[in-house]
Amino acid sequence: MKVLVTGAAGQLGADVVSTLQMAGHLVFPCDRDTLDITDSEACLEKIQEYTPEAVIHCAAYTVVDQAEQEVDTAYAVNAVGTRNMVLASERVGAKFCYISTDYVFDGMSDVPYHEYDNTNPQSIYGKSKRAGEMLVQNLSSAFFIVRTSWVYGLHGKNFVKTMLRLGEQQPSLKVVNDQKGSPTYTVDLAEFLLELIQTEKYGVYHASNTETCTWFEFAQAIFSEARIILGRDFPVQVNPCTTEEFPLPAPRPRNSVLEHISIRTNGFNDLRPWRDGLRDFIKELSISKI
């Protein structure tokens, strides 16, 4: 299968590319240096050059707090850029897989969010990603929208790497304990995307590692697993705090837990528990030169 991947140098995109290649697919990786997705003509030229059978659109503006000031840039990438890629994909009849986020919800629900629950994004990042979803739904004839949460992987900055770094530098850390979600390992998500795009089971999907935790509980697990896997002590004391004690420009969802109804009803295997993914990631990190 011929697959074009945008955002190929990013945290998820890099693992999507390697996962597809290992499965024997012909992959066309595109990053910001090789494709400006805000340029509609460039998108069409690239798609017509490669004529992919599927496009996995990982490229996005993801700097959540900065988006509150850079509104036009966030929409240019997440909305206009997505529209450009969808329209180009339609010209060659390619399936379109759009990676979205838990931020399209307001996070106020007491229960996990279903795929077809009403969205209500509160941040510019969330609103711009929801705009991208709407354009995909309106313009693509063969789409997958895949919402995920709390993503981490080998390529790029993330919460796990930050905790491990700070754990060696500081005697104590405060971590928010009133926001809950499901940490998602990029390798596990990439393997699901690989399976998904080979089908015609189009629609909206929620895909994250299963089971839930708060950021505080996630931090505790990171140090617990790291002590065992890396064989060294992290003397840092991790203390819980509230969202109000850690103010940020963009509002965060209090509840980011995603229900996986579409995965189950379409006969896919669900992703494994988040702690299993974390364990494998720390092992990978320990032998990586990145």
Catalytically active residues are 125
Task: Let me know how many helices (H) and strands (E) the chain has, helices first.
Answer: 10, 12
Structure tokens belonging to residue 213 = 């935790």
Q: Are 241 and 177 a contacting pair, CB within 8 Å?
A: yes
Enter the tokens of residue 171: 């005697």
Evaluate whether 56 touches 73 at the Cβ level (below 8 Å).
no
The tokens for 229 are 């896997």
**Backbone angle region of 150, left / alpha / beta, with phi > 0 → left and psi within -120 to 50 → alpha:** left
Record the tokens describing residue 94, joined without a space: 């390619």
List residues bridging with 151 in a β-sheet: 184
DSSP character at residue 24: T
Distance of CA 267 to the CA centre of its chain: 22
The H or E element containing residue 218 is helix 215-230
137 touches 119 (CB < 8 A): no
Q: What are phi and psi of 233, to 5 degrees?
A: -90, 145
The rounded distance, in Å, linking the Cα atoms of 173 and 190 is 31
